[in-house]
A and B are shown apart, each in its own frame.
Chain A
């Protein structure tokens, strides 16, 4: 499902497989399968959405840390009123427009 990239130079993981390492700019990296499980570090509820997603508001977007140690910003398919800090999250799907979507786990 979700694939990451481990940088050959700095060793950091990221979700941007097709790019140079976002942390050090190195070109070299190997694909790493990700569990899609992690926890919520912080989040917001978007009530005024950009035009393309206006019909979807309110929706939650969170900063997550996955089990493997990398972070990503992702849409949360969850009731925004019931989110709590540190709560477990899991990958639901890979949306072609919105990126990986997570739910409360």
Chain B
């Protein structure tokens, strides 16, 4: 298997992006990544695009081929990948696999979503299709609801406090305030989080990410050539991809996602690294509770210690591992299909020393993308080359 490097990244701002449709968003992020990589367009041999609800919310199918044409890349194989909120992470992984296997030398990957043009009820219904309809969602459960059930259990079992969980939102909004690409650009207080309106008890509005538009992209090539194109290439050290139960009742322990645990084991093994080697992580904080669970499932903290870790500042910029310095899904925004690639965008900036909220001496970064309530996960470990 060949070593793979990232030689260019691009991202639109996240939020309500006026005047740009789903295709334009994807094209914009891709053009930025291509320009940064300095790879001539005709060298790109394949395109993988993560997207979840484009057909339903943006009335657009065949998105990978359409974006390819709009980029002037007509002719190359283009593949749209769907794995709910992990679509972008899976698209990125397929690009890595194509180069690692020697099938391609230059691959463009991206993720995109256009959500803010649709009414909230329609967005909620579209996102709910990531759940198992017959097995669970027909009860009237929603994703915030699933995480509300999980949160109550985590609090009861481990003594995790409502305040500790709320501090995830305070931290991430704090980071979002200083990230120019973020949807939410102002800090929030713990009191504001704990007094925001209930969405699915005990989960409140500020425990949730917003509805967002956005796209992010990356250009990949074999690591041995990376310096010919980019002064600060970033190496893909490990990649994991796994599935897990789609319903709460199938999970032996609802406070842990087997897909995350499996994907991270695979990524750590390939990278020959341990959780202690990671200085910066972009994890899937689709809700505050999800960030705490991710930091436990990824091995940064023992099970049940993720809550105290937030309170002690262990996930802050100066902590043991800086978690979601981009602002995460909660503050940066969550255009679902784009999120996995946006995490890679942030980590590349971190490892180049160019991030808005720079983690000092960051050498190893980890991206964790989760679909639904754990049906699929990808974990990517990146390192400064």
Q: Told that A44-B152, A48-B199, A63-B254 touch, could you supply 10 new A-B pairs with CB distance under 8 A?
A: A22-B135, A42-B152, A45-B200, A47-B197, A61-B145, A62-B149, A71-B248, A71-B249, A73-B135, A85-B156
Taking each of A50, A70, A73, which has the highest tally of chain B beta carbons within 10 Å of its own beta carbon?
Answer: A73
Tell whether A44 pairs with B128 under 8 Å between CB atoms, given A22-B250, A50-B121, A50-B142: no
Number of A residues near B (Cβ < 8 Å) is 33
Number of A-B contacts (CB under 8 A): 98
Residue numbers in B under 8 Å from A48 (CB-CB)? 124, 142, 144, 199-200
- B317 CB to nearest chain A CB (Å): 33
Task: Give me the 5 closest cross-chain CB pairs, A-B, nearest first.
Answer: A44-B148, A71-B249, A45-B201, A42-B153, A51-B121
Tell whether A16 pairs with B135 under 8 Å between CB atoms, given A47-B198, A54-B121: yes
Distance between Cα atoms of A46 and B141 in the complex (Å): 7
Tell whether A97 pairs with B125 under 8 Å between CB atoms, given A42-B156, A47-B198, A47-B201: no
A 34-76 to B, binary, CB cutoff 8 A, 1 in contact else 0: 0000000111111111111110100101110000001111110
Asked if B198 and A45 make an inter-chain contact with CB atoms under 8 angstroms apart, the answer reads yes
Which residues of chain A (58-105) have a CB below 8 Å from chain B?
A: 59, 61-63, 70-75, 80, 85, 97-99
A 2-41 to B, binary, CB cutoff 8 A, 1 in contact else 0: 0000000000000010000011000000000000000001
Residue numbers in B under 8 Å from A52 (CB-CB)? 125
Distance between Cα atoms of A104 and B306 in the complex (Å): 33
Asked if A73 and B139 make an inter-chain contact with CB atoms under 8 angstroms apart, the answer reads yes
Distance between Cα atoms of A78 and B254 in the complex (Å): 23
Name the one of B128, B152, B250 contacting A43, with C-beta atoms under 8 angstroms. B152
> For chain B, which range describes its interface: under 10, 10 to 19, 20 to 34, or 35 or more residues?
35 or more
Write the chain A residue with the least CB distance to B127. A50
Interchain residue pairs with CB less than 8 A apart (8)? A42-B153, A45-B198, A47-B198, A50-B128, A51-B121, A63-B254, A70-B249, A85-B156
Residue numbers in B under 8 Å from A99 (CB-CB)? 138-139
Taking each of B128, B142, B201, B249, which has the highest tally of chain A beta carbons within 10 Å of its own beta carbon?
Answer: B249
Show the binding face of A for B, using Cβ within 8 Å: 16, 22-23, 41-54, 56, 59, 61-63, 70-75, 80, 85, 97-99
Asked if B203 and A44 make an inter-chain contact with CB atoms under 8 angstroms apart, the answer reads yes
Residue numbers in B under 8 Å from A50 (CB-CB)? 121, 124-125, 128, 137, 140, 142
- B290 CB to nearest chain A CB (Å): 14
Which residues of chain B (243-284) have a CB below 8 Å from chain A?
A: 245, 247-250, 254
